[in-house]
Amino acid sequence: MKKGLFLALAVFSTTASFLPVNYANANESGALPYISGNHNFPPNRWHVVRHTFEIKNPKNSKQISQIIIQVPEVVRWSNNPKDIVIADGNGKKVNADVTIKDKAISLAFAEPIASNSQLEIDIKKVKRVTQGNGPVYRLFAKFDGSDTATPIGIARFCKK
């Protein structure tokens, strides 16, 4: 058992070392928004946390009119729209109509989010899972003038 685990870790480490260094910046010149970071606070094994998503809208992208977050089944939160706070890259609050339906959070922006900008979305009072792999959130964006939801990435709880 230990040999198998060690072998899997060695293969993973070797494979990760061959990934190009500029992979993380691949979306910087792209035409689609992407998740530039995600974290939870406090970063330890507390049961209730604040989960934060950072979304970058690159300069070649269209304006974002809506963000949709599919919340994993194993995650619970207060379901209160006031527990979701959205700010721009400078920390200024962004006005949005927050709708929560089943396990989806919809953020419809009063003014579309311009290209070459950044958003920070805080979801407060999230009850995290204490066992198994971290739950996966799926994020989608709708662009100004379009009703099509485009996938922009996934995010997990950061486990320590």
Q: Is residue 138 part of a domain?
A: yes
Q: What is the CATH number of the domain that holds 146?
A: 2.60.40.740
Over residues 13-53, the pLDDT tens digits come to 444 433 333 333 445 667 899 999 887 776 665 578 888 99
Q: How many domains would you assign to the chain?
A: 1
Q: Is residue 16 part of a domain?
A: no
| Residue 12: its H or E element | helix 2-17
d(CA 73, CA 78): 14
Q: Is residue 7 part of a domain?
A: no
117-135 CB burial, b ≥16 within 10 A, e <16: bbbbbebbebebeeeeebb
Q: Is residue 15 part of a domain?
A: no
pTM of the model: 0.76
- Strands 136-143 and 104-113 turn out to be unpaired
Over residues 60-92, the pLDDT tens digits come to 999 999 999 998 888 888 888 999 999 998 999
